[in-house]
Amino acid sequence: MSGERAPTAENPPVRRLADWSPERLRELADDHGTPLYVFDLDRARQNYRRMAEAFPEADVYYAAKANTARPVLQALADEGAGVECASAGELARALDAGVDGSHVHYTAVNPPDRDLDVAVRLAEEHPGVTITVGAEDTLDRLADRGYDGRICVRVNPGVGAGHHEKVTTGADAKFGVPYERAADLAESAAGAFEVVGIHAHAGSGISGEDLSAHRDLVGRMGELARDVEGRGIDLEFVDVGGGFGVPYSPDEDPLDLEAVAEATREALGETEATLAVEPGRYLVADAGVLLTSANTVKETPSGVVVGVGAGMTTLARPAIYDAHHEIRNVAPGADERPSREVTVAGPVCESGDSLGDHWLPDPQRGDLLAVGNAGAYGYEMASQYNSRPRPASVVSDGDDARLARRRETIADVTAVEPEVDR
């Protein structure tokens, strides 16, 4: 499933915020308003090609939770990517986007009954879908629904890594079957299901500092694969997850993907199964920016606060993870102004509603600000908290741009509420 196309001549390992055209961003903001997510499909294609080039003999599954916009799913699938889905909704969206069932993994954690109902139905309608299970209970629940198809066993390898403790999954008991029981579970499940793979995931946002943890996880999965194969089970794949990090700050170096790939192959060792990886953030983060307009510039004793239309309901990562996203003032002539340190704050009535402190050209009301690396977990984590409608999203493909998600209205927020006579 991995692509055979080599990277294009100009395919740098990271796209910085300064590489986006201010003129083009202003044009899109004028056409669609703000806050606005902008996504470059060609950049996502480039990122996939680089991943496929680094892992030429592996299957690459895009972790859809990073960005489920239909054009994104379709563009990556057209390049050769499979899709890894963490919920029934993502599974439905991948299949609705035309991804073949044989290229889709459903990897839910403690799935609710209604999700399993949907997954079993869709697996029947789309042969080849693989359902990943992380608990013996889930096998029982699948059997109760008459499912006897393809399964993958998710393993807790006892090894975790990532950019924040809240996304370090590999050592969290919530995720997967304990390592020492995984082979036995796979063997017992083989009598009722088609056991096709084993899976583990260290965490999200793994950088060079975490490579030793990633290597340990892959090594343990290689040992487990050989144990399972020794029990007469022909595994199709060993999935070592994704979590490949991207640089959110301009002084961070991009991930040495070739080194990661080499370390992964060496750690896995000999197995008849195909290696599978699940990049999400790596494929889409630097393909997206968030545009927002300054509506208030306030001098305070502690500094300048720039109020913008995008807050924690638009981009949740800074509030949840203390995540840094670079910001650039792309208003005409902004680069000619003197810079100063300012706090960029959203419209939600919480002190945590901030996009952080940044050095920006002296801000003015009406300035257009671009927030970098917003292609992953940006729109996906947006909410209607404070009854705020979610923003619009556009995708750019070459010279063309089209609406991927329209801007919500207050009527959209209240549409799910039944009318009650008073």
**CATH code for position 366:** 2.40.37.10
Which positions make up the binding site? Answer: 243, 278-281, 317, 321, 350, 377
Report, as an integer, the average pLDDT of 208-219.
78
Domain boundary among 259, 283, 307: 283
pLDDT of residue 421: 77
315, 194: one domain? no
Task: Report yes or no on 420 lying in a domain.
Answer: no
Task: Report yes or no on 23 lying in a domain.
Answer: no
pLDDT of residue 168: 43
Task: Report yes or no on 422 lying in a domain.
Answer: no
Task: Report yes or no on 4 lying in a domain.
Answer: no
162, 220: one domain? yes
| Higher-pLDDT residue of 205, 380 | 380
393, 326: one domain? yes
d(CA 394, CA 165): 32
Domain tally, the chain: 2
Task: Report yes or no on 9 lying in a domain.
Answer: no
Task: Report yes or no on 25 lying in a domain.
Answer: no
- C-alpha triplet 142, 148, 151: angle, nearest 5°: 75
pLDDT of residue 1: 62
227, 312: one domain? no
Q: Domain containing 245: what range?
A: 42-283
- Burial class of residue 16 (count of CB atoms within 10 Å of its CB; 0-12, 13-18, 19+): middle
Q: How confident is the model at residue 209 (pLDDT cuts 50, 70, 90)?
A: low
Query: Percentage of residues in the chain with pLDDT exceeding 90?
Result: 85
Which positions make up the binding site for substrate? Answer: 281, 317, 321, 350, 377
pLDDT tens track for 139-192: 999 999 999 999 999 999 876 444 434 344 445 678 899 999 999 999 999 999
Which positions make up the binding site for pyridoxal 5'-phosphate? Answer: 243, 278-281, 377
Task: Report yes or no on 129 lying in a domain.
Answer: yes
103, 188: one domain? yes
Report, as an integer, the average pLDDT of 104-109.
96
70, 89: one domain? yes
169, 136: one domain? yes
Task: Report yes or no on 85 lying in a domain.
Answer: yes
274, 294: one domain? no
Domain boundary among 265, 283, 301: 283
190, 337: one domain? no
For residue 390, is pLDDT > 90?
Answer: yes
Q: Cβ neighbours of residue 21 under 8 Å, at least 6 residues apart?
A: none
Report, as an integer, the average pLDDT of 254-263.
90
- Burial class of residue 204 (count of CB atoms within 10 Å of its CB; 0-12, 13-18, 19+): buried
d(CA 422, CA 418): 12
CATH of the domain at 120: 3.20.20.10
pLDDT of residue 165: 45
For residue 9, is pLDDT > 70?
Answer: no
238, 301: one domain? no
pLDDT of residue 243: 83
pLDDT of residue 212: 79
pTM for the whole structure: 0.92
| Higher-pLDDT residue of 422, 273 | 273
d(CA 307, CA 295): 6
Q: How confident is the model at residue 3 (pLDDT cuts 50, 70, 90)?
A: very low
| Higher-pLDDT residue of 206, 292 | 292
84 pairs with which residues across the strands?
63, 105
For residue 255, is pLDDT > 60?
Answer: yes
Which helix or strand (DSSP H or E) is residue 188 part of? helix 179-189
Catalytic site positions: 349
Closest CA to 224 of 257, 198, 260: 198
388, 401: one domain? yes
Report, as an integer, the average pLDDT of 363-371.
97
| Higher-pLDDT residue of 215, 354 | 354
pLDDT tens track for 300-359: 998 999 999 999 999 999 999 999 999 999 999 999 999 999 999 999 999 999 999 999
Domain boundary among 283, 317, 345: 283
323, 273: one domain? no
